[in-house]
């Protein structure tokens, strides 16, 4: 016999055992359910796109990570996010879509990075976006955190905080100091303030040839504290003479107002002036979300507003706003840190265990349990009772429905609660109330 091939997959690809997959799907379904409850419509674009279309904008780091190849005459690439395909889709199907176009897509994307802890080459992104035709109301900027609020309340990983900022505030502020070209350096440095301390941040900022006076202004700006209302008041009092800055402050104030109207508790969101997200992409409101008890996970849901989704494909101006949950990474982190566990997970509600032969009574009973809305497996193997119960146990099945001759004669089933071992006899006609 020929040598066997050692079964394995490429590193950087998450593959789960059944119990973990059940838990993963539960999270996936919860997110999908909330997305749909807010009226987002499903979308499913191809994994493979034409390279010239997909990479119309990309460059640098992104392009190096792409899985790109030719097949026949075609130069093809696997999608590396769901935003570029959305832009292509909206431009392509513009005439057939109803605007504002609210869509969700929860699919795998591909990045051929060098594998490292917590980084995946194939991972799920769970995106929602709202695309306006020419204009898009500011209320949608508050609907995004409302969706986040509902998703993470339902996912139930404890208290979380949506951090909100507005790119106009950042751009306007740094423009007023004549530092527009240094925004990304400055923000990257400020981001380290908790780690390296204020003094070291000052030192690093000075290396970018920023004056001592400006450094003070910057640090005062990012240090603005207090409640959300106090922060917007403080921003107004800064006296920054820049139109964009003022517009940004007005917007964030309005968005916070709408967020309260959406019923988001004040303690679940905070204005955070250090948040920027992808610098050449977002143009207005931006978000990050942290789990309060697990800040080390970083942002678990991020996004923001952009002026023009489809600029590479059409002349129409289509502003949009969107957020994304990197589900594969989040799931993997939650498992690693034992915040969630798949050990007790099961999909099947009831295992039907035939004591003797598999006859119509057994299969009919299984059918009735299934009709009552319970996921029902039947053990057809010829193994002994002990083995069958072990199967139920290993699969995390909550109930066993034992059926032998006595049961058939008496037209009942014996239901065993696998958690506490309790048994009871239930009439076939009463199955709905048995579990």
C-beta neighbour count of 87 within 10 angstroms: 25
Closest by CA position to 393, among listed 365, 368, 421, 413: 421
Helix (H/G/I), strand (E/B), else coil: 363: helix
Contact call for residue 69 and a second copy (CB under 8 A): yes
Question: Which range touches a second copy (CB under 8 A), out of 21-29, 153-161, 195-203, 269-277?
Answer: 21-29
Is residue 198 part of the contact set for a second copy (CB under 8 A)? no
Q: Does 5 bind a second copy (CB under 8 A)?
A: yes
Smallest gap from Cβ 424 to a second copy, in A, equals: 22
| Shortest Å, Cβ 84 to a second copy | 10
Q: Which of residues 122-151 bind a second copy (CB under 8 A)?
A: 122, 132, 135-137, 139-140, 143
> Can residue 25 be called a binding residue for a second copy (CB under 8 A)?
yes
Shortest distance in whole angstroms from residue 159 CB to a second copy? 20
Judged by CB under 8 A, does residue 96 bind a second copy? yes
Q: Is 15 in the site for a second copy (CB under 8 A)?
A: yes
Closest CA to 68 of 55, 78, 59: 78
Beta-strand pair 376-378/350-354: parallel
- Cα atoms in the 13 Å half-sphere on the side-chain side of 256: 24
Q: Are 276 and 187 in contact (CB under 8 A)?
A: yes
The reply to whether 329 sits near a second copy by the rule CB under 8 A is no
Interacting residues of 412 by C-beta distance below 8 A, sequence separation 6+: 425, 426, 427, 428
User: Quick check: 370 binds a second copy (CB under 8 A)?
Assistant: yes
Nearer to a second copy, 60 or 98 (CB): 98
Query: Which ranges in 120-181 belong to alpha helices (H)?
Result: 139-155, 167-176
> What does 223-248 look like in DSSP terms, one character per residue?
T--SSHHHHHHHHHHT----HHHHHH
Residue 386's CB is within 10 A of a number of other CB atoms, namely 8
Q: Does 191 bind a second copy (CB under 8 A)?
A: no
Task: Name residues contacting a second copy, limited to 287-316 (CB under 8 A).
Answer: 310, 312-315
Closest approach of a second copy to the CB of residue 409, in Å: 18
**Is the Cβ of residue 103 or residue 163 nearer to a second copy in the bound state?**
103
Residue 187 or 350: the one with the smaller Cβ distance to a second copy is: 350
Shortest Cβ distance from residue 42 to a second copy (Å)?
5
In this complex, which beta carbon is closest to a second copy, that of residue 17 or of residue 199?
17
């Amino acid at each position: 016999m020929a040598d066997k091939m050692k079964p394995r997959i490429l590193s950087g690809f998450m593959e789960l055992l059944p119990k973990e997959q059940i838990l993963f799907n539960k999270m996936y379904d919860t997110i999908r359910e909330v997305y749909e409850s807010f009226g987002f419509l499903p979308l499913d674009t191809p994994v493979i796109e034409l390279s010239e279309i997909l990479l119309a904008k990309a460059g640098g780091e992104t392009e190096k990570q792409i899985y790109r190849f030719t097949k026949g005459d075609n130069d093809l690439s696997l999608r590396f996010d769901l935003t570029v395909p959305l832009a292509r889709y909206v431009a392509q199907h513009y005439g057939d879509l109803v605007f504002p176009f609210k869509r969700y897509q929860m699919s795998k994307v591909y990045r051929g990075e060098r594998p490292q802890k917590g980084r995946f080459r194939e991972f799920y992104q769970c995106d929602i976006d709202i695309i306006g035709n020419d204009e898009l109301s500011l209320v949608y900027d508050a609907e995004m955190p409302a969706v986040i609020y509902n998703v993470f309340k339902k996912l139930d990983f404890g208290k979380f905080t949506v951090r909100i900022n507005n790119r106009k505030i950042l751009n306007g502020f740094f423009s007023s100091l004549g530092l527009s070209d240094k925004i990304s350096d400055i923000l990257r440095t400020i981001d380290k303030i908790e780690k390296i301390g204020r003094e070291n941040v000052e030192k690093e900022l000075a290396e970018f040839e920023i004056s001592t006076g400006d450094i003070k202004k910057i640090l005062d700006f990012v240090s603005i504290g207090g409640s959300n209302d106090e922060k917007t008041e403080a921003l107004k009092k800064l006296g920054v003479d820049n139109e964009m800055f003022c517009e940004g402050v007005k917007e964030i104030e309005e968005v916070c107002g709408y967020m309260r109207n959406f019923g988001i508790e004040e303690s679940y969101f905070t204005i955070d002036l250090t948040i920027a997200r992808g610098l050449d992409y977002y143009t207005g409101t931006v978000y990050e979300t942290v789990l309060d008890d697990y800040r080390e996970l970083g942002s678990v849901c991020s996004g923001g507003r952009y002026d023009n989704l489809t600029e590479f494909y059409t002349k129409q101006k289509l502003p949009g706003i969107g957020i994304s949950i990197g589900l594969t990474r989040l799931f993997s982190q939650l498992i690693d840190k034992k915040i969630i566990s798949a050990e007790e997970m099961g999909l099947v509600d009831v295992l039907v265990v035939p004591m003797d032969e598999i006859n119509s009574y057994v299969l009919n009973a299984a059918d009735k349990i299934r009709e009552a809305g319970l996921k029902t497996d039947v053990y057809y193997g010829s193994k002994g009772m002990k083995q069958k119960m072990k199967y139920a146990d290993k699969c995390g099945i909550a109930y066993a429905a034992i059926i032998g001759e006595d049961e058939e004669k008496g037209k009942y089933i014996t239901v065993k609660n696998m958690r506490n071992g309790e048994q009871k006899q239930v009439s076939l006609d009463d199955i709905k109330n048995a579990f």
